[in-house]
Amino acid sequence: MTEIVANASREKPVNGIAGLKNFRQDLLSGMVVSLVSLPLSSGIAIASGCPPVYGLISAIIAGLLFPFVGGAYMTIAGPAAGLAPAIMTVMIALGGAGDADHVGAGYPFLLVVIFMVGCCQLIMSLAGLARYAAMIPVAVVEGMLASIGLIIIVKQFPSFFGVTGTVHAHEFYEFITHLPEWARNNTPAVFAVSAVTLLVLFALGALQKRVKLFQILPPQLVAVVIGVALGQMLHLGDLNGGKFLIKVPENPFSGLHTPHFAELFARTDLWYAALMGVVLLTLVDGVESLATAMAVDRIDPYHRRSNPNRVLLAMGLSNIASSMVGGLTIIPGGVKSKVNVAAGGRTLWANFYNSVCLILYLAVGYQLINLIPRGVLAAVLLYTGWKMCEPLVWRHVAHIGKEQLGIFAFTIFATLATDLLVGIIAGVVAKLFLNAYLCRKALASQPAGAVRKGTFGELFINPVGRKEWIDGKYHVFVDKPICWFNSGKLQRELNSLPPDAEEVILHLDETMSLWQSLVGFFQNPVEHKELIDGAYHLHVTKPLVCFNSMQLSKELESVPPEATTVHVHIGHSVTLVDHSACDTLMHVVREASHSNVPVSVVGLDRMSPLSHHESGVRVASGDFPTSA
């Protein structure tokens, strides 16, 4: 049994007007964050196929709106590197992407897509659908982020090497095949500045955990300052017509694009591309937003929990506003949020002050911004992409379990071979088949008679096997799986009970079939719950997997206020607890240590783990080898 008892916690800062009493801490943190946001947002815009000013405008919009909508506490929102490949893909499909100097033909249509993405997020948040993001397995999300990191890396090489010609590569493998050519034909001064910046980033990144100064003073800022100084020493502004430096116009808020709604609606040949763009950006934006918000919650020194639906609402409103002024998609950013935590930020007002600082930089310091070499921004993004897919990430996933590493690697391969949307779908399907296989193996290892062989056709026929009178009581015996397809037949049986039946006893088959396990993947795993002497008991009787763990989270959120403890019982009929569900359980238990209602998980220890990791897969069998 796993149990963590609550500890007394200090007063927790809140957002809104009450949060203004943390003005000093949030203002200082906002200033530090802005120094990271400036180069990072500029680089993300270039990586997305847009001039750098569009990334800065997106960051400003996010900071001006997000703090007033709320949903999180330490999260800094703005354009994120994870969306850059998807944005460029959509823009190319809608007519063409641009670069650091000009806007592509597809950009006004992309703004329409971003507007529609924001509307979809509003609808999803109001419908309370944010929790369904948990249906995407953790290994698939990690694989998606790692593949995005690899895509970001390869797309930075032209700027990193100082390529002067037109870059014709679009797909991942095309960038890989052109890499030797770009390396041979590099511009020495640009390559030198880029390489030094990258080395500084890795060196300072290695020192960040050991040197407190670099936990507050971000390595990205130090590296950019050094890169700018080197760029001036090597006169990069005099090479290639000054195109090796970024360009922010004197009046950055003039000449911005707006969404071309009428033109896109008139272009029927672009409707499919626009629809796929909305689906892709909504899915990736939503998943990464909620995953990042949850990750930031775990490093919040005050252990506050974000509200997923509120975060989605904030992102929806921010995306709508950003699209109307020509900005990019907006999501919570992991790098900037970590800087906020390290700098001592306490509320979302730090995000607001970050935006105010960016406005001041654009208004009075645009000439200094124009001293930043593109190769320096490429080095910052290359480092960011590396952190998303470095060997440490692979080792971490492998430590959780070899099967998780398989799903992780398969998602990466599918994404790089196709696109983000197909990669995510492929990873989810692979996870479904993996869970089915593990359930089958678990059931096959059970003693004879403990498992009932079932057929697919049972899902569509009457689940009631027999009905009979016993000692004056009417008994109904259910010996087949109950699911959406046949639940109506069970309801008809209950509606047609004998009129003289004063007491009816419903018997549910306690043996488990493979089809019952598979159907259970998508049903509420909690069969019943009860409050006994202040202890609230939740009894899980179905496989607990990523596809139904949000139902368990919903049950845990509705614990009666009079409950003093919560016990989650993993029943003997549970054949599988997958990594995503186990991670959710462990997260709930850890969070309970900072509340007044401790949570314990009973019965998890009787299941066989597939690895030594605390959130590794558990199966109802002792025959599975444990990976190291």
Q: Splitting the chain (628 residues) into consecutive groups of 10 residues, what average pLDDT does each group show?
A: 39 88 92 90 91 93 91 90 89 90 92 96 90 85 91 92 84 91 93 96 86 76 93 92 88 82 94 94 88 84 87 94 93 88 90 94 88 93 92 95 95 91 91 89 65 58 77 75 67 80 70 65 85 90 88 86 90 87 85 79 89 90 52
> Helix, strand, or coil here: 567?
strand
Q: At what angle do helices 188-207 and 219-233 cross, to 10 degrees?
A: 160
β 473-478/464-470 pair status: antiparallel
State how far the Cα of 463 lies from the Cα of 453, in Å rounded to an integer: 14
Instruction: Identify whether 398 is part of a domain.
Output: no
- Check whether residue 461 and residue 609 sit in a common domain: no
Judge whether 595 lies within some domain.
Answer: yes
Rounded to an integer, what distance in angstroms lies between the CA atom of residue 144 and that of residue 148?
6
The residues facing 532 across adjacent strands are 535
Tokens for 267, please give them: 């272009």
Distance from chain centroid for Cα 84? 15
Assess contact for 383 and 201: CB atoms under 8 A: yes
Contact 588, 559 (CB under 8 A): no
How many whole angstroms separate alpha carbon 66 and alpha carbon 292?
15
Lookup result for tokens 């509307």:
119
What residues contact residue 213 under an 8 Å CB cut-off, 6+ apart? Answer: none
Q: What is the pLDDT of residue 5?
A: 35
What distance separates the 2 farthest-apart alpha carbons in the chain? 99
d(CA 574, CA 527): 11
Give the closest residue to 403 by CA, choosing from 118, 610, 235, 597: 610
Give first-to-last CA distance, the chain, whole Å.
Answer: 22
Long-range contacts of 507-510 (CB under 8 A, 24+ apart): 507/475, 507/476, 507/477, 507/478, 508/478, 509/452, 509/465, 509/477, 509/478, 509/479, 509/480, 510/573
Nearest-angstrom CA–CA distance, 343 and 584: 29
Beta bridge partners of 609: 618
Residue 64 placed within a domain: yes
Considering the domain architecture, whether residues 461 and 318 belong to the same structural domain is answered as no
pLDDT at 9: 44
The packing angle between helices 374-389 and 188-207, to 10°, is 40
325/178 same-domain check? yes
Domain stops at, among 370, 389, 408: 389
Nearest Cα residue to 98 out of 33, 166, 39: 166
- The verdict on residue 418 lying in a domain is no
The answer to whether 521 and 547 have CB atoms below 8 angstroms apart is yes
Answer yes or no: do 385 and 532 share one domain.
no
Distance CA 504, CA 507 (A): 10
CB atoms within 10 A of CB 335: 21
Structure tokens at 589: 């238990």
Q: Is residue 6 part of a domain?
A: no
CA distances from 487 to 453, 463, 464, 501 (A): 20, 8, 10, 22
Rounded distance, CA 122 to CA 239, Å? 47
Are 501 and 563 found together in one domain? no
- Hey, what are 313's tokens? 């609402």
Cα(60)–Cα(253) distance, integer angstroms: 11
Phi, psi angle pair for 540, to nearest 5° = -90, 125
- Residues 392 and 205 sit within 8 Å (Cβ to Cβ): no
CATH number of the domain encompassing residue 592: 3.30.750.24
Token reading at 34: 């802005």
CA distances from 454 to 463, 515, 519, 575 (A): 12, 6, 12, 15
Q: Is the CB of residue 189 less than 8 Å from the CB of residue 374?
A: no
As for how many domains the chain has, the answer is 3
595 lies in the same domain as 493: no
Q: Which residues of 294-308 are buried (b: 16+ CB within 10 A; e: fewer)?
A: bebbeebebbbbbeb
**Is there a contact between 372 and 245 (Cβ–Cβ < 8 Å)?**
yes
- Shared domain for 261 and 365, answered yes or no, is yes
- Are 199 and 269 in a shared domain? yes
CB of 621 within 8 A of CB of 608? yes
Q: Which residue among 389, 409, 436 closes a domain?
A: 389
Using CA atoms, how far apart are residues 579 and 178, in angstroms rounded to an integer? Answer: 39
Report the C-alpha gap between 514 and 441 in whole angstroms: 10
Q: What number of other Cβ atoms are within 10 A of residue 612's Cβ?
A: 12
Rounded CA gap, 466 and 477, in Å?
5
Report how far Cα 251 is from the mean position of its chain's Cα atoms. 35
Q: Are residues 87 and 218 in the same domain?
A: yes
Q: Distance (Å, rounded) from C-alpha 38 to C-alpha 370?
A: 12
Q: Is 288 domain-assigned? A: yes
Q: Does 624 map to a domain?
A: no
Res 456: pLDDT: 57
* Angstrom distance (rounded) from CA 94 to CA 110: 7
Q: Would you tell me how many other CB atoms lie within 10 Å of the CB of residue 63?
A: 30
Is 239 in the same domain as 306? yes
pTM passes above 0.85:
no
Q: Report pLDDT for 446.
A: 63
Residue 277 lies in a domain: yes
Instruction: Let me know whether 204 and 268 are in one domain.
Output: yes
Strand partners, 67: none
Domain final residue pick, 440, 475, 510? 510
Per-residue pLDDT at 453 = 53
Q: Is the dihedral of CA 10, 15, 17, 21 positive or negative?
A: positive
| Residue in 44, 66, 64 with CA at minimum distance from that of residue 54 | 44
Question: Does residue 355 contact residue 316 with C-beta atoms inside 8 Å?
Answer: no
- Domain of 483 in residue numbering reads as 456-510
* Contact by Cβ (8 Å): 442, 583: no
Q: What are phi and psi of 469, to 5 degrees?
A: -90, 130
Let me know whether 378 and 488 are in one domain.
Answer: no
